[in-house]
Amino acid sequence: MTHKWFSALLALLSLHAAPALATPCKTQGNVDAAMPFPTSKPTDVPFARSMVPVILPNVSGALPHALRCTRATVSAAPGDYVIGGENDEPFPRMALRADGKPGPVVYLAGSPAAPGIFALVVHQGALTVIKRFYAGIPTDAWLSDDIRAALADNDGVMSFDASRRMVLYSFARPDGSVAPPPLERGAGGVASGPQIFIPAAADPRLLDAAHDNRHKPSGFACPESFDGLAVLLMSIEPHADSLTCDYRAGTELRYREDDPIRYQISLVKAARGDTSQSVFNEMVAQARSEMHITGDHVPPLPTGPSPAPQFVAYWDTADAGVQGVWVAKAGGWIIWVRAQYPPGAANDAEAGKVARTLFDRVAAQVR
C-alpha cells in the first residue's frame, strides 16, 4: 500500500514550468541577504526545530504543479531554471526546470512556528534540504544567486531523508555538545527515531548516504536502529582516520537515574605501535581514574574469537549507573563499544544484544 506522503513526493518529481507561461510576476521581495545560521547561540536549536515543517513530506502535496508567473531564468548545474511566485502565495517563490523535464525543485516556504522567516529548500528524490534562511522574502537578484548556489550540491543546514524518515542536522550547540534534533510524530509520516546528527567538526563527505551512511575509509555503517531500543538521537562523527557513533534517547548529557541506555561505537585507524590490548589498557586506566567505581559488573557480552570482542571491562559505579567497554580489532582498525545504563537485568540483556549486533557488523564490514 502506498502512503499518501510518498505519493506526494513522487508527484513532486513531475513538477514542471509551463513553457507557454510568460506573465511577469508583480510583487517584489525586499531582503537582500540571507540570515546567518548557525549563529553559535543557544537559540539555534529551537529555531531549527521551528523550521522542520517546511521539509516534511506533507509540504510536497501542496506545491503547485506549474508557475503562475515568471520572474527570471537562472543557469544552474542541472540546467536552466525559471523562478516564479507571488508574495501572497503559500510558496512565495519556486524554481522549476525551464525545459519541463524532471529535476530538483526549489521553493521558498515559511513555518507557522516561525512567523516572518522563510527557508530556501531544494527537493530531489528522497532528500529535502534547507539551504538558508531569510527574515522576509528575498529580492529577485539575491534569490537568483542563492538558487544557483543551492543547486550546486546537496549540502545544507538541515535535511529530511524520506527513505528513512529522518531529520538530519549539521550543527552543534555553542558548547560543542550534542543537541537533539527535532522529532515529529504523525506530521507527514515522520516516525520516532533515529534522528541523525552530524557534528560540525566532522566531514560528512566521508559518509556514503546512498548506502546507509557507510563510512568510506573503514567500510562500516553504524546501524540506525536496534530491535527493542527506542533511539531518538543518533550522532555520527566521521573523519578520515576515525568514526564515532553515539546512540541515546535522553536530551541531557548528565546522568540521571531514569536515563535510557546509551551506547557508543568508535573505530580508529591503528597507528604504529597501537594494539587492541594497549588501547584497552588505556581506557581501563582512564575509567578507573575518572569514575567512582564500586565494584566489577558481569559483562553482558563475554570475550571470544571474532566476531566477539577481545577484551571487556564492566563496572558498577556510585553515581553513573553501570558502565563498560569492549575492545576488538578488525582490518587496520581498533574498535571499542561503550555502554552506560541504569542497573537492571533487562538493561544488561539489551546491552549485550546491542554489543553483539555491533561486533557482528564490524566483522562483516570493516576492512
Is the residue at 180 inside a domain?
A: no
The answer to whether residue 96 scores a pLDDT higher than 90 is: yes
Which residues of 249-342 form beta strands (DSSP E)? 262-269, 293-296, 311-317, 322-330, 333-341
The x, y and z cell numbers of residue 318, run together, are 556510585
Q: Average pLDDT of 119-136?
A: 93
Domain limits at 338?
202-365
User: Each residue of 252-309: pLDDT tens digit?
Assistant: 444 455 556 789 999 999 988 899 999 999 999 999 999 999 999 999 999 999 999 9
pTM for the model: 0.58
Q: Average pLDDT of 43-51?
A: 80
The answer to whether residue 183 scores a pLDDT higher than 70 is: no
Nearest Cα neighbor of 311 from 333, 281, 267, 354 is 281
CATH code for position 295: 3.40.1000
What is the pLDDT at residue 177? 46
Q: What percent of the chain has pLDDT over 90?
A: 54
Is the residue at 94 inside a domain?
A: yes
Q: Average pLDDT of 17-42?
A: 80
**Which residues are CB-neighbours of 16 under 8 A, at least 6 positions away?**
65, 66, 96, 97, 100, 101, 102
Is the residue at 92 inside a domain?
A: yes
Is the residue at 193 inside a domain?
A: no
**Least confident residue range of 144-148, 230-234, 260-264, 283-287:** 230-234
Residues 113 and 207 in one domain: no
**Least confident residue range of 32-36, 128-132, 270-274:** 270-274
What is the pLDDT at residue 82? 95
d(CA 173, CA 241): 24
Residues 265 and 149 in one domain: no
The answer to whether residue 180 scores a pLDDT higher than 60 is: no
Contact between 358 and 325 under an 8 Å Cβ cutoff? The reply is no
Q: Is 183 helix (H, G, I), strand (E, B) or coil?
A: coil
Is the residue at 18 inside a domain?
A: yes
- How many domains would you assign to the chain? 2
Residues 109 and 229 in one domain: no
- Mean pLDDT over all residues of the chain? 83
What is the pLDDT at residue 172? 55
Q: Average pLDDT of 73-85?
A: 94
d(CA 46, CA 171): 13
